[in-house]
Structure 1
Amino acid sequence: MISLADSLVSASSRPLAVRRRPDLVSKRQHYQGTSYWIVKEPIGLNYFRFQEEEFAIMNMVDGHTSLDQIKQRYEAQFPPSKITVEELARFVGNLFQSGLLMADVPGQGDQLKKRAEEKRRKQMVATVSNVLAIRFKGIDPERLLNWLNPKVGWLFSRPAVICGLSLMLTAVLLVTVQFDVFQSKLPTFQDFFAGKNWIYLGITLAVTKILHEFGHGLTCKRFGGECHEMGVMILVLTPCLYCNVSDSWMLPNKWHRAAIGAAGIYVEVVIASFCTFIWWFSESGTMLNQLSLSVMFVCSVSTILFNGNPLLRYDGYYILSDIMEIPNLRQKSTTILTRKLGKWCLGLEEPDDPFLPQRNQAMFALYSIAAVIYRWLVVIMILLFLYRVFEPIGLQVLGQVIAAASLYGLIVHPLWKLGKFFAVPGRFHQVKKARMFATLSVVAGLLAAAFLIPLPHSVYCPLEVQPQDAKQVYVEIPGTLLKPARPAGSQVHQGDVLAELSNLDLELEFVRLQGELETLDERIVSLQLERLQEDHFAADAANVLRETEKRHESVRQQLAQKQQDLDRLEIVAPVDGTVMPGPLVSGRPPVEGLLPTWSGTPLDEHNVGAYLQASDLLCQIGDPQKMEAVLVIDQSDRNFVKVHDRVEIKLSHLPRQMFESRIESIATAELEETPQRLSDKAGGELLTQVDRTTGREVPLSTSYQARALLPNNENMLRIGLRGKAKIHTAPQTIANRLWRFLSQTFSFEL
């Protein structure tokens, strides 16, 4: 049996036992001013790009022509180019391995079987290494798309695209102009990702991706392309469709190819824009409202993080590749990076490759690095997301299996390719030993530095300025402010009146109880006289007297309590000191039928006549020269912070002023209520939510309070000022920081 290799190494004058497949489809195209031929292999739907010379050689392989004859024809057709028989043999062998040639020698069934098995093995490895996006081939949708195109193809016409983009722009303007309203309408993170909404998210992802893929297919048909493969893709454990529009490579216009790549994004953007208006004007909490928000989330996240991002091999990547006219952009960028690293680190010579970009190679290398880093980040985010989904239902093991399979594609497969690179015979002898050992020394030094050298470490957290050891004075009995309170800065002594309130309901109740008490007094006197005048005081009358006396005592106690409440409407200073205002509060607009509320601080004169609720902070009494910063530290940073650590403080109203202090104390108990002005709902930096049990505003993550003293000798500080603290903690190595990041990300402590 004669193999293909035997036929190629035989006498160069013997006719080749292979010939070009007659079913190949080819079209001439131009890339960056150079003419190329695109060849389509219709059975496997594989596409190849050849230069004029390569395409001519492939056409010369007709089963009757020898290598010598091909060499002569080539050199006659493309002077002054020269080619050797060995180069021709290698090129013909590559064509055969790619399935573009067919052999007329016996035994080719075994060769085709081996090739099919190798292809299946590679597909299996690719599937295992990318379990987050598994494809299953399905149907040939050509007939379906041909039927749909006359009916809905107009959606991808120029007028329809202009209308769709206008709708998108209008939705963006609506959200941008009324961003505060947009934020207020959004549910909390916990509510949006609650169990009941997972069904909506799953349905949304499946439906939008199906429409996304039909967008690709219909646009491809509109520009004259074909689509012969549509199947099922399990995308992040959600079934949806995929549509193979590789036939767009046969289109000569690069903008048409880019439009086909962008069609799916266009469909999702239009759907998201339409759902933005539905969500905006529909009743919050309804099924339609939740579905619309799910569509907005899925379409926007998938477009920004995945489809529209050229760092991943999705729509954005192919759009960029088409516009730049560089097919296989990722592979070529990786090849450039690999060759540069081989040259710099191992001293390997860079072989000439006319198919690689010759200009701006540094940019392509940087693109390859950015793509690898971004892919790592996206995979880690998805794995963390899935782990959090599986954890509550006890399926963490499934999340760990998916993580292991994904990490195989990120770590094991690249290492295997690296080993394969060095396994090439003679490769190691090409390496310049001095360059290799220098590279290893640098790598070892960097690793040693990462594990052994501690670097300065800081913790950042929000803060609020408060008076040090001040006594807070709260309103105990609600009421209307009768006259201006003692102004801020006033010196007071214990017992001095700070403010006087009036509570009409309380006063009316006091008067009612007084009247009732007088009536009971008269009733008791009457019953007692009746008992003295009658010789036989009836038992029923005695019971009435006892009940009346009991009621009298109860009313007397209530009256005494009301008197105490009335006395507390006069708020007095509990200690000696200076009156200081509490944090500023924005007033609510007046509502007809309700008492006016106060704004600013209760000490402000314009609040005379305003209604103060119980537990409202009237003022604070202390020393205005002694302030402190109240820091809120996240639990992930709590263990780094120690008492006496140095703190640098910047306040929002004094951005150029730096205050220095040290940690005075750290709370051991969790923060149960967020300082109002630090909440993101009040413009602060601390993400908070409402505790449904207590109704208090609490941090999203467990936090602790710390205090640092702030002298106010120049009277620059005001109560309630917000700022940012930089706490200088013990130095940490890079390895420790990386391990901490991974521990927090994947919750290794679990």
Structure 2
Amino acid sequence: MIGGESTMDQIMLPAMRADLRLFKGSGEADGSPMWMLFDPVRNRYFHLHVRGLRVLRHWRTGATPEEIAESASDHGVEVDAEDVTGVARFLVSNGLTEARTSADSARLEEQWSQNRTHWYQWLLHRYLFIRVPLVRPDPFLARNLNRVRFIGSRLFAKLTLLLGLIGIILALRQWDAFTGTFMRFLNWEGVAWFALALIGVKTAHELGHAFVARHFGCRVPSMGVAFLVLFPVLYTDATDTWRIANPRDRLQVALAGVKTELAIALLATFAWSFLPSGGLRDAVFFLATTSWVTSLLINISPFMRFDGYHALSDVWGIHNLQPRAFELARWQLRETLFGFGEAPPEIFRPRRRRLLVTYAVATWIYRFFLFLGIALLIYHFAFKALGIVLFFIEIGWFIVRPVLQEMSTVIRHQWGWNKRVVRTILVSAFILGLLLVPWRSTLPLPAVLEASSYSRVHPPEPARIVSVSVSSGDDVAKGDVLVDLEKPSLTMEVEKARHRIAVIQARLDRRAGSFQDLASEGTLRRQLAEQRVRLSGLQERIAALVVRSPLAGKVASLADLSPGQWMGRDQLLAEVIGQTGIQVTAYVSEQQRSRIQVGAEGRFISDDGTHQAVNVKVVAVEEMGSDRLSHLSLASTYGGPLAVKQNGAEGAPALEEGVYRVRLVATERHIATAWQLSGRASIEAPAESLLGRFFRYAAAVLIRESGF
């Protein structure tokens, strides 16, 4: 029997299952031969190297490992009893032997019990990924293979490429209509055509894999729907492609789906120009653009076990690419950090080993962000109570658990002092110090510096420039002329008013000689008063066209003005800033508010870098937060650091997260050179470690999200 506690001379080799099949494999990347052992019951393939094959050729039920090794030696084959024992354990652990005795049955029952998945593990994996077989396509594929074989011919490929190029040229000639097709998807009819096109092209994608696999003599036992985080995707069981000895042929199977979608996209691009407007044309547009791009982006990734992974495995000639790369990377990590001096799990050339380690690390990084994204997706789509539970299960099971397992492996290892251990301890202590030591004593905040008094000067009404009396940077006193404007229509109105006054006054002067004027004396005097009031108003408007400085200060900026130029009421003429000082408004998040204290000093630094830094002091911190931003220059829509989502009713942008206003003043006299500058205010704050900041932020998020 084969048991965990048996000694070598007690082992009796079990009988191998009679239904197993042996195939010649494609060989390893280093050129060494390899064979495939096929289990038809579970539709699984197992790789055998030369030593394993030698053992199986001399296998005898009931023999001992020493007898098999001796028999092999008699035939000139170099194997030892250890090799035989290893193969026996491999066969038993994978259920490839027959159960002829009660001991064998007990062993199988024990294996089943050990491999049985707990209900919570089953549930965890099933909601993330589950396959639902729908059809057994092998008979259909066998009947129709010859009918579709021409699709894989060079002639069909060239014809498809030619039609696709013609379609692209035709689409470019009516580009606006082509790109405008997308908008028609935004209705129920468009969505229906979109769904039909999506189902059709994904079915064609899977049939591409299936027919090419069948072309190379492989069985396709099932096709169906897989649910990836409850999102349905079609799948094809192409496990049988392991029997294909030529890696290039396996590569053809792996790429068949994407090639099929690209061919459909080229034909759809050609067909779009000839179809009338409607749902069918919209669906063809989807096939020509969105479908193949999304498919390529998803399937080309070698970090998940989609088409790109299998293609990369075939190109490199390394089966079970991810498990082997992961094991090699873990070994490399342990040796780099601790120098255990262990032999690598497999021997590769240095360049190939570096490539595999790089691939493994890239996959870990990709999976970290993928699982984090899935956790956030589950959290937001499930109701809050379930979302929180599933979020922590996802993070704990797929991110924290593998890290803890590796740490446990390292801790259990037999340790010894060497240069790498010392280096790792020192670097770890340094990093830990960076995380734990409160070293950050300033808090950078988005801020705006404004002159305490300033004015933006506009024309009182639409008018024409006569002359400009100042330049940018000039000092001005209150009342100094900035710009002289005129409005010809206003001058004409003044002349008309004066003429009416003269006429009315003349009638009043001769009223004694005119019975009619004498009778209407009261009316004439009322009209005279009205016209004089109107004239006074017109003269005031003309006087206002001489634009004067509203305060003493400096012309910070002057628009590009020239005589004869017309200016609207909303157009800026000049900016005048006073000489009375500045004020700074900063914005702090809820998580950081407690670190800001009244009296704390800091420095304001402008974003443009052309203005000198200003020493400031906190004089007030708002007690109530606000979700409105009064300074547009800090809004993300204008390139600022504060994220906004929409404009408020008053035009003030709505912030993604609430903030608190902090008011600061200059600690020394400072004359503003611009009416408003955006920048950052670095405020002194109690020192805080990076780790403390992280936990405080995490606690704030938990408190915010815990509201049901």
Same-fold call, TM cutoff 0.5: yes
* CA spacing shift, 1:368–1:571, aligned 2, 3 Å: same
Question: What is the rounded CA distance, in whole Å, between the counterparts of 2:74 and 2:525 in structure 1?
Answer: 131
* CA spacing shift, 1:400–1:217, aligned 2, 3 Å: farther
Structure 2 residue aligned with 1:604, among 554, 558, 561? 561
Confirm or deny that 1:257 pairs with 2:263.
no
For residue 688 of structure 2, what is the aligned residue in structure 1? 732
Question: What is the rounded CA distance, in whole Å, between the counterparts of 1:487 and 1:744 in structure 2?
Answer: 52
For residue 395 of structure 2, what is the aligned residue in structure 1? 407
Structure 1 residue aligned with 2:21, among 21, 24, 31? 24
Question: What is the rounded CA distance, in whole Å, between the counterparts of 2:579 and 2:251 in structure 1?
Answer: 66
Question: What is the rounded CA distance, in whole Å, between the counterparts of 1:636 and 1:215 in structure 2?
Answer: 54
Q: Which amino acid aligns with 1:125?
A: Q
* CA spacing shift, 1:557–1:638, aligned 2, 3 Å: farther
Q: Which amino acid aligns with 2:547?
A: I
Structure 2 residue matching 1:617: 3-state secondary structure: coil
Structure 1 residue matching 2:573: 3-state secondary structure: strand
Confirm or deny that 1:470 pairs with 2:459.
no
Structure 2 residue aligned with 1:387, among 354, 376, 379? 379
Partner deviation per Cα, 1:344-391 (whole Å, 9 max, x = no partner): 77886625644777766566455444433432222222322443445x
What displacement does 1:121 show? 1.6
Partner deviation per Cα, 1:445-468 (whole Å, 9 max, x = no partner): 579636641233776677778667
For residue 242 of structure 1, what is the aligned residue in structure 2? 235
What displacement does 1:507 show? 8.1
For residue 95 of structure 1, what is the aligned residue in structure 2? 91
What displacement does 1:621 show? 0.9
For residue 675 of structure 1, what is the aligned residue in structure 2? 632
Check conservation: 2:36, 2:48, Cα contact below 8 A: yes
Confirm or deny that 1:230 pairs with 2:223.
yes
Structure 2 residue matching 1:471: 3-state secondary structure: strand
Question: What is the rounded CA distance, in whole Å, between the counterparts of 2:603 and 2:32 in structure 1?
Answer: 63
* CA spacing shift, 1:213–1:459, aligned 2, 3 Å: farther
Question: What is the rounded CA distance, in whole Å, between the counterparts of 1:563 and 1:152 in structure 2?
Answer: 93
Question: What is the rounded CA distance, in whole Å, between the counterparts of 2:146 and 2:585 in structure 1?
Answer: 65
Partner deviation per Cα, 1:228-263 (whole Å, 9 max, x = no partner): 233322223322222233333333343443454455
Q: Which amino acid aligns with 1:331?
A: P
Confirm or deny that 1:398 pairs with 2:354.
no
Question: What is the rounded CA distance, in whole Å, between the counterparts of 1:631 and 1:287 in structure 2?
Answer: 55
Confirm or deny that 1:620 pairs with 2:612.
no
For residue 649 of structure 2, what is the aligned residue in structure 1? 693
Structure 2 residue matching 1:31: 3-state secondary structure: coil
Structure 2 residue matching 1:18: 3-state secondary structure: coil
Q: Which amino acid aligns with 2:36?
A: I
Check conservation: 2:553, 2:579, Cα contact below 8 A: no
Check conservation: 1:133, 1:235, Cα contact below 8 A: yes
Check conservation: 2:55, 2:83, Cα contact below 8 A: no
Number of matched pairs: 675
Moved more, 736-745 or 162-171: 162-171
Partner deviation per Cα, 1:91-114 (whole Å, 9 max, x = no partner): 212123223343444675665565
Partner deviation per Cα, 1:46-66 (whole Å, 9 max, x = no partner): 222221221232343364866
What displacement does 1:685 show? 6.6
For residue 37 of structure 1, what is the aligned residue in structure 2? 35
For residue 431 of structure 1, what is the aligned residue in structure 2? 414
Q: Which amino acid aligns with 1:672?
A: L
Question: What is the rounded CA distance, in whole Å, between the counterparts of 1:273 and 1:718 in structure 2?
Answer: 58
Q: Which amino acid aligns with 2:43?
A: L
Question: What is the rounded CA distance, in whole Å, between the counterparts of 2:686 and 2:164 in structure 1?
Answer: 53
Check conservation: 1:628, 1:709, Cα contact below 8 A: yes
Note the aligned Cα RMSD (angstroms). 6.3
Structure 2 residue aligned with 1:134, among 117, 130, 133? 130
- Unpaired runs of 5+ residues, structure 1, are 280-285, 535-544, 583-601
Structure 2 residue aligned with 1:318, among 310, 324, 329? 310
Question: What is the rounded CA distance, in whole Å, between the counterparts of 1:557 and 1:153 in structure 2?
Answer: 95
Partner deviation per Cα, 1:505-540 (whole Å, 9 max, x = no partner): 888999999999999999xxx9xx999989xxxxxx
Structure 1 residue matching 2:131: 3-state secondary structure: strand
Question: What is the rounded CA distance, in whole Å, between the counterparts of 2:477 and 2:347 in structure 1?
Answer: 88
* CA spacing shift, 1:143–1:560, aligned 2, 3 Å: farther
Structure 2 residue matching 1:454: 3-state secondary structure: coil
Question: What is the rounded CA distance, in whole Å, between the counterparts of 2:71 and 2:212 in structure 1?
Answer: 42
Question: What is the rounded CA distance, in whole Å, between the counterparts of 2:538 and 2:126 in structure 1?
Answer: 74
Partner deviation per Cα, 1:557-612 (whole Å, 9 max, x = no partner): 99987776665444321012222227xxxxxxxxxxxxxxxxxxx3433xx55554
Check conservation: 2:301, 2:309, Cα contact below 8 A: yes
Check conservation: 1:648, 1:658, Cα contact below 8 A: no
What displacement does 1:647 show? 4.5
Structure 2 residue matching 1:38: 3-state secondary structure: strand
Check conservation: 1:137, 1:232, Cα contact below 8 A: yes
For residue 586 of structure 1, what is the aligned residue in structure 2? none
How do residues 234-633 of structure 1 correspond to structure 2 at under 5 angstroms? 234-263=227-256, 307-340=299-332, 350=342, 353-354=345-346, 361=353, 364-365=356-357, 367-390=359-382, 395-410=383-398, 413-414=401-402, 417=405, 431-432=414-415, 445=429, 449=433, 452-456=436-440, 469-481=453-465, 483-484=467-468, 486-501=470-485, 568-581=544-557, 602-605=559-562, 612-622=567-577
Q: Which amino acid aligns with 2:691?
A: A
* CA spacing shift, 1:341–1:682, aligned 2, 3 Å: closer
What displacement does 1:475 show? 4.2
Question: What is the rounded CA distance, in whole Å, between the counterparts of 1:735 and 1:470 in structure 2?
Answer: 44
Q: Which amino acid aligns with 1:432?
A: W
* CA spacing shift, 1:443–1:273, aligned 2, 3 Å: farther
Question: What is the rounded CA distance, in whole Å, between the counterparts of 1:18 and 1:625 in structure 2?
Answer: 99
Question: What is the rounded CA distance, in whole Å, between the counterparts of 1:549 and 1:275 in structure 2?
Answer: 86
* CA spacing shift, 1:680–1:614, aligned 2, 3 Å: farther
Partner deviation per Cα, 1:411-435 (whole Å, 9 max, x = no partner): 564378569969xxxx96x623778
Structure 1 residue matching 2:117: 3-state secondary structure: helix
Q: Which amino acid aligns with 1:239?
A: P
Question: What is the rounded CA distance, in whole Å, between the counterparts of 1:185 and 1:270 in structure 2?
Answer: 21
Moved more, 615-624 or 632-641: 632-641
Check conservation: 1:167, 1:274, Cα contact below 8 A: no
Question: What is the rounded CA distance, in whole Å, between the counterparts of 1:72 and 1:127 in structure 2?
Answer: 49
- Unpaired runs of 5+ residues, structure 2, are 273-278
Check conservation: 1:154, 1:160, Cα contact below 8 A: no
Q: Which amino acid aligns with 2:38?
A: K
